Structure 1
Amino acid sequence: MENRTSNTGLAGNLHTAFVNRFNAIYQNQAMKAAIFLDPRYRGSLVRDQLSVETAKEFMKEMHQRLGYLREADKQTVRQTNDENSGDDFDIELAMNEYFQRDAGSSNSNHLSDIEAAIDAFDPPHMQIKENLFDYWGGEGTGDNDLHAIAMAIYAIPPTETQTERNFSDLKRILSDFRGNLSRQTLENILTCHLNKDLYLDVIDKQLKIIRKK
Protein backbone atom coordinates (compact mmCIF):
# COMPACT_ATOMS: atom_id res chain seq x y z
CA MET A 1 0.00 0.00 0.00
CA GLU A 2 1.43 3.34 -1.02
CA ASN A 3 2.23 5.72 1.80
CA ARG A 4 0.62 9.07 0.99
CA THR A 5 1.23 10.68 4.38
CA SER A 6 3.98 12.94 3.02
CA ASN A 7 1.58 14.26 0.39
CA THR A 8 -1.02 15.54 2.82
CA GLY A 9 -1.37 19.25 3.44
CA LEU A 10 -0.64 18.86 7.17
CA ALA A 11 2.56 16.90 6.59
CA GLY A 12 3.71 19.39 3.98
CA ASN A 13 3.06 22.35 6.26
CA LEU A 14 4.85 20.64 9.16
CA HIS A 15 7.84 19.86 6.97
CA THR A 16 8.01 23.48 5.78
CA ALA A 17 7.75 24.73 9.36
CA PHE A 18 10.56 22.43 10.50
CA VAL A 19 12.80 23.53 7.63
CA ASN A 20 12.13 27.22 8.29
CA ARG A 21 12.83 26.77 12.01
CA PHE A 22 16.05 24.90 11.29
CA ASN A 23 17.23 27.64 8.92
CA ALA A 24 16.37 30.37 11.43
CA ILE A 25 18.23 28.62 14.25
CA TYR A 26 21.23 27.79 12.07
CA GLN A 27 21.59 31.42 11.00
CA ASN A 28 21.98 32.50 14.62
CA GLN A 29 25.57 33.55 15.33
CA ALA A 30 25.61 31.96 18.78
CA MET A 31 24.41 28.66 17.30
CA LYS A 32 27.19 28.69 14.71
CA ALA A 33 29.75 29.38 17.42
CA ALA A 34 28.31 26.54 19.52
CA ILE A 35 28.62 24.14 16.57
CA PHE A 36 32.17 25.34 15.84
CA LEU A 37 33.22 24.53 19.42
CA ASP A 38 31.44 21.16 19.50
CA PRO A 39 33.81 18.29 18.54
CA ARG A 40 30.78 16.16 17.67
CA TYR A 41 29.18 18.40 15.02
CA ARG A 42 31.77 20.97 13.95
CA GLY A 43 32.48 18.94 10.79
CA SER A 44 29.08 20.08 9.45
CA LEU A 45 30.15 23.72 9.83
CA VAL A 46 33.80 23.86 8.79
CA ARG A 47 32.88 23.13 5.17
CA ASP A 48 31.04 26.48 5.05
CA GLN A 49 33.74 29.17 5.25
CA LEU A 50 31.23 32.00 5.64
CA SER A 51 29.64 30.28 8.65
CA VAL A 52 33.09 29.64 10.13
CA GLU A 53 34.01 33.33 9.85
CA THR A 54 30.67 34.30 11.41
CA ALA A 55 31.31 31.93 14.31
CA LYS A 56 34.83 33.29 14.83
CA GLU A 57 33.65 36.91 14.87
CA PHE A 58 30.99 36.05 17.43
CA MET A 59 33.56 34.30 19.64
CA LYS A 60 35.92 37.29 19.49
CA GLU A 61 33.06 39.57 20.46
CA MET A 62 32.16 37.22 23.30
CA HIS A 63 35.78 37.30 24.45
CA GLN A 64 35.66 41.09 24.64
CA ARG A 65 32.36 41.06 26.55
CA LEU A 66 33.80 38.65 29.10
CA GLY A 67 36.76 40.96 29.48
CA TYR A 68 34.47 43.91 30.17
CA LEU A 69 32.56 41.92 32.78
CA ARG A 70 35.74 40.78 34.51
CA GLU A 71 37.01 44.35 34.59
CA ALA A 72 33.70 45.65 35.94
CA ASP A 73 33.79 42.95 38.63
CA LYS A 74 37.31 44.00 39.65
CA GLN A 75 36.20 47.62 39.79
CA THR A 76 33.27 46.63 42.00
CA VAL A 77 35.56 44.77 44.40
CA ARG A 78 37.95 47.72 44.56
CA GLN A 79 35.06 50.10 45.18
CA THR A 80 33.67 47.87 47.94
CA ASN A 81 37.06 47.61 49.64
CA ASP A 82 37.64 51.35 49.54
CA GLU A 83 36.46 52.45 52.98
CA ASN A 84 37.10 56.10 52.24
CA SER A 85 34.77 56.28 49.27
CA GLY A 86 31.06 56.79 49.79
CA ASP A 87 30.17 57.04 46.09
CA ASP A 88 28.29 54.28 44.30
CA PHE A 89 30.19 52.25 41.75
CA ASP A 90 29.86 53.85 38.31
CA ILE A 91 29.76 50.96 35.86
CA GLU A 92 29.52 53.31 32.87
CA LEU A 93 32.74 55.04 33.92
CA ALA A 94 34.42 51.67 34.45
CA MET A 95 33.36 50.53 30.98
CA ASN A 96 34.61 53.75 29.38
CA GLU A 97 37.97 53.33 31.08
CA TYR A 98 38.18 49.77 29.86
CA PHE A 99 37.25 50.80 26.31
CA GLN A 100 40.06 53.36 26.39
CA ARG A 101 42.52 50.65 27.34
CA ASP A 102 40.87 48.56 24.64
CA ALA A 103 42.50 50.78 22.02
CA GLY A 104 46.00 50.09 23.37
CA SER A 105 48.56 47.69 22.00
CA SER A 106 48.25 45.31 24.97
CA ASN A 107 44.61 44.62 24.13
CA SER A 108 45.51 44.15 20.48
CA ASN A 109 48.01 41.53 21.49
CA HIS A 110 45.40 39.85 23.68
CA LEU A 111 42.92 39.86 20.79
CA SER A 112 45.57 38.35 18.55
CA ASP A 113 46.07 35.62 21.15
CA ILE A 114 42.40 34.65 21.17
CA GLU A 115 42.28 34.78 17.37
CA ALA A 116 45.24 32.41 17.25
CA ALA A 117 43.58 30.10 19.78
CA ILE A 118 40.36 30.03 17.76
CA ASP A 119 42.21 29.38 14.48
CA ALA A 120 44.24 26.60 16.09
CA PHE A 121 41.17 24.89 17.57
CA ASP A 122 40.96 21.48 15.90
CA PRO A 123 39.76 18.90 18.45
CA PRO A 124 39.56 15.18 17.73
CA HIS A 125 36.12 14.06 16.61
CA MET A 126 33.75 12.89 19.34
CA GLN A 127 30.88 10.45 18.88
CA ILE A 128 27.40 11.97 18.87
CA LYS A 129 26.39 10.06 22.02
CA GLU A 130 29.38 11.39 23.96
CA ASN A 131 28.84 14.18 26.47
CA LEU A 132 30.16 17.52 25.25
CA PHE A 133 30.99 18.62 28.80
CA ASP A 134 33.29 15.66 29.22
CA TYR A 135 35.47 17.60 26.81
CA TRP A 136 34.91 21.20 27.93
CA GLY A 137 34.42 20.32 31.57
CA GLY A 138 38.04 19.26 31.68
CA GLU A 139 39.16 22.30 29.69
CA GLY A 140 40.06 20.04 26.81
CA THR A 141 41.77 22.74 24.73
CA GLY A 142 44.16 23.84 27.44
CA ASP A 143 43.29 27.46 26.61
CA ASN A 144 41.52 29.22 29.47
CA ASP A 145 40.13 32.06 27.33
CA LEU A 146 38.66 29.66 24.78
CA HIS A 147 37.25 27.55 27.60
CA ALA A 148 35.59 30.65 29.10
CA ILE A 149 34.06 31.51 25.71
CA ALA A 150 32.70 27.98 25.32
CA MET A 151 31.19 27.99 28.81
CA ALA A 152 29.49 31.34 28.12
CA ILE A 153 28.10 30.18 24.76
CA TYR A 154 26.82 26.87 26.11
CA ALA A 155 25.15 28.71 28.98
CA ILE A 156 22.75 30.25 26.44
CA PRO A 157 19.51 28.21 26.65
CA PRO A 158 18.58 26.71 23.25
CA THR A 159 14.85 27.02 23.98
CA GLU A 160 12.52 29.14 26.11
CA THR A 161 11.29 26.12 28.07
CA GLN A 162 13.45 26.79 31.12
CA THR A 163 12.50 30.47 31.07
CA GLU A 164 8.81 29.54 31.15
CA ARG A 165 9.46 27.20 34.07
CA ASN A 166 11.28 29.99 35.90
CA PHE A 167 8.26 32.26 35.50
CA SER A 168 6.04 29.51 36.89
CA ASP A 169 8.38 29.18 39.87
CA LEU A 170 8.24 32.94 40.39
CA LYS A 171 4.43 32.81 40.59
CA ARG A 172 4.66 30.25 43.40
CA ILE A 173 7.27 32.27 45.31
CA LEU A 174 5.71 35.72 44.89
CA SER A 175 2.12 34.85 45.75
CA ASP A 176 -0.75 36.74 47.39
CA PHE A 177 0.45 35.36 50.71
CA ARG A 178 4.03 36.59 50.19
CA GLY A 179 3.47 39.91 48.46
CA ASN A 180 5.62 41.93 50.86
CA LEU A 181 8.94 40.37 49.90
CA SER A 182 11.61 42.95 49.18
CA ARG A 183 13.30 42.92 45.80
CA GLN A 184 16.61 41.80 47.32
CA THR A 185 14.97 38.96 49.26
CA LEU A 186 13.10 37.82 46.16
CA GLU A 187 16.30 37.86 44.10
CA ASN A 188 18.11 35.85 46.79
CA ILE A 189 15.34 33.23 46.90
CA LEU A 190 15.26 32.93 43.11
CA THR A 191 19.04 32.69 42.91
CA CYS A 192 19.05 29.75 45.32
CA HIS A 193 15.99 28.15 43.71
CA LEU A 194 17.23 28.42 40.11
CA ASN A 195 20.80 27.40 40.93
CA LYS A 196 20.25 24.53 43.31
CA ASP A 197 23.41 22.71 42.27
CA LEU A 198 25.58 25.75 42.98
CA TYR A 199 23.73 26.44 46.21
CA LEU A 200 24.27 22.88 47.46
CA ASP A 201 27.92 23.05 46.43
CA VAL A 202 28.44 26.26 48.42
CA ILE A 203 26.66 24.76 51.44
CA ASP A 204 28.85 21.66 51.23
CA LYS A 205 32.02 23.78 51.14
CA GLN A 206 30.85 25.86 54.09
CA LEU A 207 30.11 22.72 56.11
CA LYS A 208 33.59 21.39 55.40
CA ILE A 209 35.09 24.66 56.65
CA ILE A 210 32.99 24.49 59.81
CA ARG A 211 33.99 20.88 60.45
CA LYS A 212 37.67 21.79 60.16
CA LYS A 213 37.25 24.48 62.79
Structure 2
Amino acid sequence: MKGELRGVAISRGGIRINHLLFADDSVIFGRVSIAELKRIQGLLDIYGKALGKCLNEKKITIFLSSNTHWGVRTQIQQGAGVAICGSYEKYLRLPAVVGRSRYYTFRSLKERVWAKVNSWKNNFLSQAGKEILLKAVVQVIPTYSMSVFRLPIRLCKDISSVMSRFWWVHMKNDKRIQWRRELMQAKIGFGPSMIWRSLWYAISLIKEGVA
Protein backbone atom coordinates (compact mmCIF):
# COMPACT_ATOMS: atom_id res chain seq x y z
CA MET A 1 0.00 0.00 0.00
CA LYS A 2 3.04 2.27 0.26
CA GLY A 3 2.81 5.25 -2.07
CA GLU A 4 -0.74 4.49 -3.18
CA LEU A 5 -2.22 7.33 -1.12
CA ARG A 6 -0.76 10.58 -2.36
CA GLY A 7 -2.51 12.93 0.05
CA VAL A 8 -2.08 16.68 -0.42
CA ALA A 9 1.04 18.84 -0.68
CA ILE A 10 1.59 21.52 1.95
CA SER A 11 3.26 23.74 -0.63
CA ARG A 12 4.44 23.52 -4.22
CA GLY A 13 7.16 20.91 -4.23
CA GLY A 14 6.78 20.39 -0.47
CA ILE A 15 6.05 17.29 1.57
CA ARG A 16 2.69 15.57 1.22
CA ILE A 17 0.26 14.72 4.02
CA ASN A 18 -2.25 11.89 3.83
CA HIS A 19 -3.67 12.08 7.36
CA LEU A 20 -3.87 14.25 10.46
CA LEU A 21 -4.73 13.09 13.98
CA PHE A 22 -6.09 15.47 16.61
CA ALA A 23 -7.59 14.34 19.93
CA ASP A 24 -10.21 11.73 18.94
CA ASP A 25 -10.62 12.99 15.36
CA SER A 26 -8.87 11.79 12.20
CA VAL A 27 -8.64 13.64 8.89
CA ILE A 28 -7.64 11.62 5.82
CA PHE A 29 -6.64 13.30 2.55
CA GLY A 30 -6.87 11.65 -0.85
CA ARG A 31 -7.59 12.15 -4.52
CA VAL A 32 -11.18 12.27 -5.73
CA SER A 33 -11.47 8.84 -7.32
CA ILE A 34 -13.21 5.56 -6.63
CA ALA A 35 -9.88 3.75 -6.58
CA GLU A 36 -8.54 6.05 -3.87
CA LEU A 37 -11.76 5.64 -1.88
CA LYS A 38 -11.47 1.84 -2.01
CA ARG A 39 -7.88 1.98 -0.77
CA ILE A 40 -8.85 4.18 2.17
CA GLN A 41 -11.80 1.94 3.03
CA GLY A 42 -9.50 -1.09 2.89
CA LEU A 43 -7.06 0.49 5.31
CA LEU A 44 -9.85 1.43 7.69
CA ASP A 45 -11.21 -2.13 7.58
CA ILE A 46 -7.78 -3.54 8.46
CA TYR A 47 -7.48 -1.02 11.29
CA GLY A 48 -10.92 -1.90 12.64
CA LYS A 49 -10.32 -5.67 12.55
CA ALA A 50 -6.94 -5.30 14.24
CA LEU A 51 -8.43 -3.37 17.16
CA GLY A 52 -11.80 -5.10 17.22
CA LYS A 53 -13.66 -1.90 16.40
CA CYS A 54 -15.98 -0.70 13.67
CA LEU A 55 -16.47 2.72 12.13
CA ASN A 56 -19.47 4.83 13.02
CA GLU A 57 -20.70 6.03 9.63
CA LYS A 58 -22.90 8.67 11.28
CA LYS A 59 -19.76 10.46 12.45
CA ILE A 60 -17.97 10.30 9.08
CA THR A 61 -18.23 13.11 6.54
CA ILE A 62 -16.49 13.68 3.23
CA PHE A 63 -15.46 17.09 1.99
CA LEU A 64 -14.82 17.38 -1.75
CA SER A 65 -13.11 20.14 -3.70
CA SER A 66 -15.43 22.76 -5.21
CA ASN A 67 -14.26 21.89 -8.74
CA THR A 68 -15.27 18.22 -8.42
CA HIS A 69 -17.61 17.16 -11.23
CA TRP A 70 -21.13 16.37 -10.04
CA GLY A 71 -20.97 12.89 -11.60
CA VAL A 72 -17.79 12.02 -9.65
CA ARG A 73 -19.35 13.50 -6.52
CA THR A 74 -22.34 11.19 -6.88
CA GLN A 75 -20.11 8.14 -7.39
CA ILE A 76 -18.06 8.98 -4.30
CA GLN A 77 -21.17 9.42 -2.17
CA GLN A 78 -22.69 6.15 -3.34
CA GLY A 79 -19.42 4.27 -2.90
CA ALA A 80 -18.70 5.65 0.56
CA GLY A 81 -22.24 5.48 1.90
CA VAL A 82 -21.68 8.50 4.15
CA ALA A 83 -22.71 12.14 4.07
CA ILE A 84 -20.86 14.70 1.96
CA CYS A 85 -20.64 18.13 3.56
CA GLY A 86 -21.02 21.14 1.31
CA SER A 87 -18.61 23.31 3.29
CA TYR A 88 -15.86 22.68 5.80
CA GLU A 89 -15.22 26.18 7.09
CA LYS A 90 -14.69 25.54 10.80
CA TYR A 91 -13.01 22.87 12.89
CA LEU A 92 -12.95 23.39 16.66
CA ARG A 93 -14.07 26.99 15.99
CA LEU A 94 -11.03 27.62 13.79
CA PRO A 95 -11.02 28.01 9.99
CA ALA A 96 -10.18 24.71 8.33
CA VAL A 97 -9.22 26.39 5.04
CA VAL A 98 -7.30 29.68 4.94
CA GLY A 99 -7.45 31.41 1.55
CA ARG A 100 -5.10 33.94 0.04
CA SER A 101 -6.42 36.74 2.22
CA ARG A 102 -5.86 35.93 5.88
CA TYR A 103 -7.44 39.26 6.82
CA TYR A 104 -10.86 38.28 5.44
CA THR A 105 -10.52 34.77 6.89
CA PHE A 106 -10.12 36.09 10.44
CA ARG A 107 -12.16 39.28 10.05
CA SER A 108 -14.87 37.74 12.24
CA LEU A 109 -12.55 38.29 15.24
CA LYS A 110 -12.69 42.04 14.68
CA GLU A 111 -16.46 41.88 14.32
CA ARG A 112 -16.78 39.95 17.58
CA VAL A 113 -14.59 42.49 19.38
CA TRP A 114 -16.60 45.38 17.92
CA ALA A 115 -19.92 43.80 18.92
CA LYS A 116 -18.69 43.10 22.44
CA VAL A 117 -17.31 46.61 22.95
CA ASN A 118 -20.47 48.28 21.64
CA SER A 119 -22.63 46.24 23.98
CA TRP A 120 -20.78 47.89 26.91
CA LYS A 121 -21.30 51.46 25.78
CA ASN A 122 -23.19 52.93 28.73
CA ASN A 123 -22.84 55.53 31.44
CA PHE A 124 -22.06 53.13 34.28
CA LEU A 125 -18.51 52.03 33.39
CA SER A 126 -15.57 53.67 35.08
CA GLN A 127 -12.05 53.69 33.65
CA ALA A 128 -11.15 50.82 35.98
CA GLY A 129 -14.21 48.88 34.84
CA LYS A 130 -13.34 49.41 31.18
CA GLU A 131 -9.79 48.23 31.83
CA ILE A 132 -11.03 45.01 33.42
CA LEU A 133 -13.42 44.33 30.54
CA LEU A 134 -10.75 44.95 27.91
CA LYS A 135 -8.20 42.70 29.59
CA ALA A 136 -10.49 39.94 30.83
CA VAL A 137 -12.95 39.72 27.93
CA VAL A 138 -11.86 41.48 24.73
CA GLN A 139 -8.23 40.39 24.71
CA VAL A 140 -9.32 36.78 25.19
CA ILE A 141 -11.36 36.74 21.94
CA PRO A 142 -8.39 36.48 19.50
CA THR A 143 -6.17 34.48 21.86
CA TYR A 144 -7.48 31.05 20.79
CA SER A 145 -6.95 31.78 17.09
CA MET A 146 -3.53 33.31 17.77
CA SER A 147 -2.41 30.10 19.47
CA VAL A 148 -2.65 28.35 16.09
CA PHE A 149 -2.45 31.03 13.38
CA ARG A 150 -0.39 34.16 12.90
CA LEU A 151 -2.91 36.94 12.49
CA PRO A 152 -2.31 39.67 9.88
CA ILE A 153 -0.81 42.91 11.18
CA ARG A 154 -3.67 44.88 9.63
CA LEU A 155 -6.22 42.89 11.62
CA CYS A 156 -4.26 43.33 14.86
CA LYS A 157 -4.18 47.09 14.29
CA ASP A 158 -7.93 47.17 13.63
CA ILE A 159 -8.65 45.29 16.85
CA SER A 160 -6.31 47.60 18.79
CA SER A 161 -8.06 50.60 17.25
CA VAL A 162 -11.47 49.37 18.40
CA MET A 163 -10.12 48.86 21.92
CA SER A 164 -8.46 52.28 21.95
CA ARG A 165 -11.65 54.06 20.90
CA PHE A 166 -13.57 52.28 23.65
CA TRP A 167 -10.90 53.25 26.20
CA TRP A 168 -10.55 56.92 25.28
CA VAL A 169 -14.11 57.90 24.37
CA HIS A 170 -15.95 59.71 27.15
CA MET A 171 -19.08 57.94 28.30
CA LYS A 172 -21.50 60.87 28.28
CA ASN A 173 -20.83 62.82 25.09
CA ASP A 174 -18.87 60.28 22.99
CA LYS A 175 -16.01 62.74 22.50
CA ARG A 176 -12.38 62.10 23.13
CA ILE A 177 -11.04 63.24 26.48
CA GLN A 178 -9.87 66.83 26.06
CA TRP A 179 -6.74 66.61 28.17
CA ARG A 180 -5.21 63.89 25.99
CA ARG A 181 -3.96 66.28 23.27
CA GLU A 182 -2.85 68.87 25.83
CA LEU A 183 -0.83 66.29 27.72
CA MET A 184 0.88 64.98 24.58
CA GLN A 185 2.00 68.50 23.61
CA ALA A 186 2.95 69.71 27.09
CA LYS A 187 6.41 71.11 27.82
CA ILE A 188 8.46 70.35 30.88
CA GLY A 189 8.53 74.05 31.79
CA PHE A 190 10.75 75.91 34.27
CA GLY A 191 11.45 74.48 37.69
CA PRO A 192 9.08 71.45 37.40
CA SER A 193 8.18 69.35 40.39
CA MET A 194 9.43 65.80 40.77
CA ILE A 195 5.95 64.41 39.97
CA TRP A 196 5.56 66.46 36.77
CA ARG A 197 9.12 65.63 35.69
CA SER A 198 8.35 61.90 36.07
CA LEU A 199 5.08 62.25 34.09
CA TRP A 200 6.73 64.27 31.35
CA TYR A 201 9.43 61.66 30.80
CA ALA A 202 6.70 59.00 30.43
CA ILE A 203 4.84 60.87 27.65
CA SER A 204 6.82 59.01 24.98
CA LEU A 205 5.61 55.69 26.38
CA ILE A 206 2.04 56.97 26.51
CA LYS A 207 2.25 58.01 22.84
CA GLU A 208 3.36 54.49 21.88
CA GLY A 209 0.55 52.94 23.91
CA VAL A 210 -2.29 54.99 22.41
CA ALA A 211 -0.96 55.29 18.86
TM-score, structure 2 normalization: 0.24
Higher strand residue share: 2
Quick check: which has more Rg, 1 or 2?
A: 2
TM-score, structure 1 normalization: 0.24
